[in-house]
Amino acid sequence: MSLRDSAATPLPVRELLDALTSLPGIGKRSAERIAFHLIKASEEEAMALSNSIAEVKHNVSCCSICNNLADVSPCLICDDHTRDASVVLVVEQPKDLISLEATGMFKGVYHVLTGRIEPLAGIEVGDIAISELLERVDNSSLNAQGATINEVILGLNPNLEGDSTALYLAQELEARSVKVTRLARGLPSGSQIEYANSQVLADAIQGRRGMHQE
């Protein structure tokens, strides 16, 4: 029997376990490990975590259009009328967006999926912001500046999960008559966008190609 289900477990601990298992990618075992860690941790350490959760909840949210971290919504990128909102670059995480943005090469807008399809970690299609992307494509009023999306660039990490997420997205998008491209294969397989250098990323954006081109 798990800790969560035992009447011998104090109620506050059971509530903490419930809260932890509701987080993405946290199963029962991980929740128990984290809970034990927090119970044994100093009050200072545990409260630092609690305070930083409160802090981000009060001061940071996600852009209602692209899901990027922002303290205003729409975010400054979506709201920038010098950018071309008809081209959307899809990334897994805000840190990928930061790396791609640092190249200065991309003048469209982004869509942050907040993850990738990863069945072994319990992350399914409905757990990341795929339907929000498809809605932006289907309905221009949901996109930045009300623009119709002409091209979606898939900028997922070049590894097994990133590739299979990209393939799923391409199938969904190609059924919608929008141009689908992916970053050029300059990124070594298994590498991560967030750690790639700016020149490699700039080349990958500029050399982007259709999903079915090598």
Give the nearer residue to Zn ion in terms of CB position, either 16 or 65. 65
CB 181 within 8 A of CB 211: yes
Give the nearer residue to Zn ion in terms of CB position, either 63 or 166. 63
Give the nearer residue to Zn ion in terms of CB position, either 108 or 158. 108
Nearest approach in angstroms of CB 141 to Zn ion is: 15
Q: Parallel, antiparallel, or unpaired for β 179-182 and 209-210?
A: antiparallel
Nearest approach in angstroms of CB 76 to Zn ion is: 8
Give the nearer residue to Zn ion in terms of CB position, either 65 or 205. 65
Nearest approach in angstroms of CB 107 to Zn ion is: 14
Cα R_g (the chain), whole angstroms: 20
Give the nearer residue to Zn ion in terms of CB position, either 78 or 166. 78
| Contacting positions for Zn ion (CB under 5 A) | 63, 65-66, 68, 75, 78
Nearest approach in angstroms of CB 125 to Zn ion is: 22
Nearest approach in angstroms of CB 62 to Zn ion is: 8
